[in-house]
Amino acid sequence: MSYKKIDGILPCHDGKFAIVVSRFNSFICERLLDGALDVLKRQGEVAEDHITVVHVPGAIEIPLVCKKLAESGNYDAVITCGCVIRGSTYHFEVVANECAKGLTQVTLSSGVPVTNGVLTTDTLDQAVQRAGSKMGNKGAEAASAALELVNVIRQI
């Protein structure tokens, strides 16, 4: 007996992708965007005219725009790039939790993968480390997950 195996591969020439990027902590978010674009182009082999980049004010606004993009029927996956850094108030928890919850809700309700490239860190240094330095690039990770999911879903 041999089983059917479904594994995501990364190349996705005809896939259409949207990237939602937060302006809050833009110094970090633009590096996450660089990482996401690099993976889409070099590993996904996605043409630039199949990629749409949307900027929003902050992480709280990311899920709504993802929902509009996912429901438009124009994209196979939506990638997010954001950065929430802990301050001295409860606001961090609200922004970080509501954003993550919103992304999951949009994924499940729309059936379009929305991948999470939103950093939630205690310090700016931790964010820098995850935006293209020693701990990788969370935007690149989210783009890679999006490519893989599009290919997995196409095989199901």
From 43-51, 57-65, 105-113, 136-144, give the range in contact with ligand INI by CB under 6 A: 57-65
Distance CA 81, CA 116 (A): 7
30 binds ligand INI (CB under 6 A): no
Which residue minimizes CB distance to ligand INI?
58
Q: Which of 100/147 has CB closer to ligand INI?
A: 100
Residues 6+ apart with CB under 8 A from 102: 62, 63, 64, 66, 67
Give the chain's radius of gyration (CA, Å): 15
From 57, 39, 61, 7, select the one nearest 146 (Cα to Cα). Answer: 39
Span interacting with ligand INI, options 6-14, 70-78, 85-93, 136-144, rule CB under 6 A: 85-93
In angstroms, give the least distance from the CB of 144 to ligand INI: 22
Q: Which is nearer to ligand INI, 42 or 91 (CB)?
A: 91
Q: Is 85 in the site for ligand INI (CB under 6 A)?
A: yes
Least CB distance to ligand INI at residue 112 (A): 22
φ, ψ for residue 42, nearest 5 deg = -85, -35
CA distance 102 to 17: 19
> Which residues are marked as active site?
91
